[in-house]
Structure 1
Amino acid sequence: MYVLRPTRPADLSNIEALAHASPTGVTSLPADHDTLHRKIQASNDSIAAEVSFHGEESYFFTLESVSDGSLVGVSGIVASAGFNEPFYSYRNEAFVHASPGLSIHNRIHALSLCHDLTGNTLLSSFYIDKALHFSRWSDLLSRARLLFIAQWPERFAESIVSEMIGVTDQQGSSAFWDAVGRVFFGIDYQEAELHCGVKGRKFIAELMPQHPLYVPLLSDDAQAVMGQVGEDARLPYDILTREGFETENYIDIFDGGPTLYATTRAIRTISQSQLATVAVGRAGPHAYLIATTRLHDFRATVAEAEHRDGHIVLTAEVIAALGLAAGETVRIAPL
């Protein structure tokens, strides 16, 4: 069994190991000791804060094995993307160029640098050990964040976005970055992602052109990967699209990967979640996501249970793993 919980300062060395194993495109999980330390501290500060409106808070969770205490995954939430600096994206647009004299009327696909998505809640930092891919535990790692949002909606925005890693080759290079970013920054894709994860995105505004980029002028390879999901993002993409997230009209400025979007209240796990009172008994016939309703000791897992008459019947093992007692309230959603 695995339990999701907020990260702690004592987790830092294990989180560093996970960050080193994560794909390059997970910008919000850089393999940098000081950055990860600040990320964990910011999460702890956010949970301790009294919040009535989403702002600079961020939350960082880890997936822990109940049997041996090992950490096998991480995921995060940024309450308001771009709170301290603009959250940059490329917006897909079409410009019309016409010449009545020549009877020519062309619609040209272009990319415009923007920060339209600033202020939305952002799902970030998703990484799980490959042995647990496409399992109930990978669902837990991603979707328990949604139970957290459902329990404390005042802490989050009315819409949620998530950037998916785009297509890279076997050497870790991005055709989109090579056609666009490298021209203006003179560094390779992996270096750009690390720089962004450690130092932020301010350098984008300083060096990236503010004028639209005409897509037909990009290389065929770059055009082919625009809006495409990379192999390393298949898992989070699958989970979130099942939740009702859709591809918005935006792509990532580094690798051209798609940005997913959903209205918070319409997300499956959030809309279907409900409160239930814990009762002790045998495992039930259906699997549920189960999360505590204690902000300072948030925990979540997946278990077979029986839900009836406002009660959720859980085994003593599950109750112990969540640090609960009979009669307490939990938030649940069907797996």
Structure 2
Amino acid sequence: MLVLRTARLDDLPGIEPLATRSPAGVTTLPANRDSLYRRVQASIDSLAAEVAFHGEESYLFVLEDTDTKALVGISGIVASAGFKEPFYSYRNETFIHASPGLGIHNKIHALSLCHDLTGNTLLTSFYINEPLRFTQWSDLLSRARLLFIAQWPERFADGVVSEMLGVTREDGGSEFWDAVGRRFFGIEYQQAEFYCGVRGRKFIAELMPHHPLYVPLLNDDAQEVMGQVGPYSALAYDILMREGFETENYIDIFDGGPTLYAPVRGIRTMMESQLAKAQAGEGSRTPCLVATTRLDDFRACVADVAFEAGQAYMPADVLNALALQPGDTVRFAPL
């Protein structure tokens, strides 16, 4: 059985291969043990903290095969994007250039560096092994985070964002980065993403131009990939769009991929989730995401559940996998 749970320090040997296989653009999963250690420790500290308002907390989850104890996926949440430093994006804007005397009125597409999305909750670090992509397990890995937010709303913002990886070339480079970032940083796309994951985003403010970039001045290849979802993010994009996320007016400053946004009150899994008392039993069942309501031992899995009078009946092995006793409260949502 595959079970999502919060990450522990002894998971590091299993997390490292996942981080190594994840694309360069997943900056929250750098192939660097010290950085991964800090991420896991930050999650442990956040779970132990008393929180009345979202701040610098971050949470990391792993998807474990309980039969083999192997880790097959990872995902995370940052309670408040840009808490310690601005969360940069490019905002799509339209400037008007007009000359009444010449009878010319032009609308010009421009990109403005901004940190409008700072303060929103950020979904991060999504990676699942290839054989499990586009399955119920990838839904579990992504959407269980939404059940976590629904259970402890005081720990998170009223809006949730997620950055999608943009289109890259077969050699790992990015047309958008080459046309914009590389001109000011003088480094390759993958190196820039690695620096971002290991050193943070402060260097962006130091080197990136703060004046608007006029899109017509970019080459055709760079313009073509703006706002486009790369193959790696197709899975995350599909899941979140089904949840009610939308592509707002923002793109990533590195590869030009879109940033998705949804208000908490509009996210499907959170709105459809309910609480019930877990029981072992049979009945006419519905496939569901089922999560515990224990902050110190949050777990979630996919299970067939039967509902009756506030009771959620599920197979005994599901209760065991989630470390539940009959009568414990669970949060569930339709798969």
Aligned to 1:105: 105
Aligned to 1:246: 246
Alignment partners' CA distance in 1, 2:216 and 2:225: 13
Aligned to 2:23: 23
Which residue identity does 1:200 align to in structure 2? G
Which residue identity does 2:69 align to in structure 1? G
Aligned to 1:158: 158
Which residue identity does 2:144 align to in structure 1? A
Q: CA deviation at 1:282?
A: 2.8
Map 1:78-89 onto structure 2 (within 5 A). 78-89=78-89
Which residue identity does 1:272 align to in structure 2? E
Aligned length: 335
| 1:206-251 alpha-carbon deviations (Å, 9 max, x no partner) | 0000100000000100000000000000000000000000000000
Aligned to 1:9: 9
Aligned to 1:257: 257
Q: CA deviation at 1:283?
A: 6.6
Aligned to 1:134: 134
Aligned to 2:72: 72
RMSD, aligned α-carbons: 0.7
Unaligned runs of 5+ in 2: none
Q: CA deviation at 1:285?
A: 2.6
Contact 1:283 1:315 in 2 (8 A): no
Alignment partners' CA distance in 1, 2:311 and 2:114: 47
Contact 1:121 1:157 in 2 (8 A): yes
Query: Match of 1:98, SS?
Result: strand
TM-score w.r.t. length of structure 2? 0.99
Which residue identity does 2:208 align to in structure 1? M
Q: CA deviation at 1:307?
A: 1.6
Contact 1:229 1:258 in 2 (8 A): yes
Contact 1:175 1:221 in 2 (8 A): yes
Alignment partners' CA distance in 2, 1:8 and 1:324: 20
Unaligned runs of 5+ in 1: none
Q: CA deviation at 1:286?
A: 1.3
Alignment partners' CA distance in 1, 2:92 and 2:254: 15
Contact 1:284 1:313 in 2 (8 A): no
Aligned to 1:228: 228
Could you say if the C-alpha distance between residues 283 and 2 of structure 1 is closer, same or farther in structure 2, counting changes exceeding 3 Å?
A: farther
Alignment partners' CA distance in 2, 1:280 and 1:33: 41
Which residue identity does 1:128 align to in structure 2? I
| 1:7-51 alpha-carbon deviations (Å, 9 max, x no partner) | 100011211110000111111111111100000000000000000
Q: CA deviation at 1:284?
A: 4.4
Alignment partners' CA distance in 2, 1:292 and 1:263: 24
Q: CA deviation at 1:185?
A: 0.4
Contact 1:59 1:76 in 2 (8 A): yes
Alignment partners' CA distance in 1, 2:150 and 2:87: 24
Which residue identity does 2:333 align to in structure 1? A
Q: Does 1:305 align with 2:305?
A: yes
Contact 1:290 1:302 in 2 (8 A): yes
Query: Match of 2:150, SS?
Result: helix
Q: State percent identity of aligned pairs.
A: 69
Aligned to 1:320: 320
Which residue identity does 2:309 align to in structure 1? D
Aligned to 2:169: 169
Query: Match of 2:51, SS?
Result: coil
Query: Match of 2:85, SS?
Result: coil
TM-score w.r.t. length of structure 1? 0.99
- Runs of 4+ deviating beyond 6 Å: none
Query: Match of 2:248, SS?
Result: strand
Contact 1:277 1:329 in 2 (8 A): yes
Q: CA deviation at 1:184?
A: 0.3
Alignment partners' CA distance in 2, 1:217 and 1:307: 59
Alignment partners' CA distance in 1, 2:166 and 2:17: 23
Which residue identity does 1:280 align to in structure 2? A
Aligned to 1:334: 334
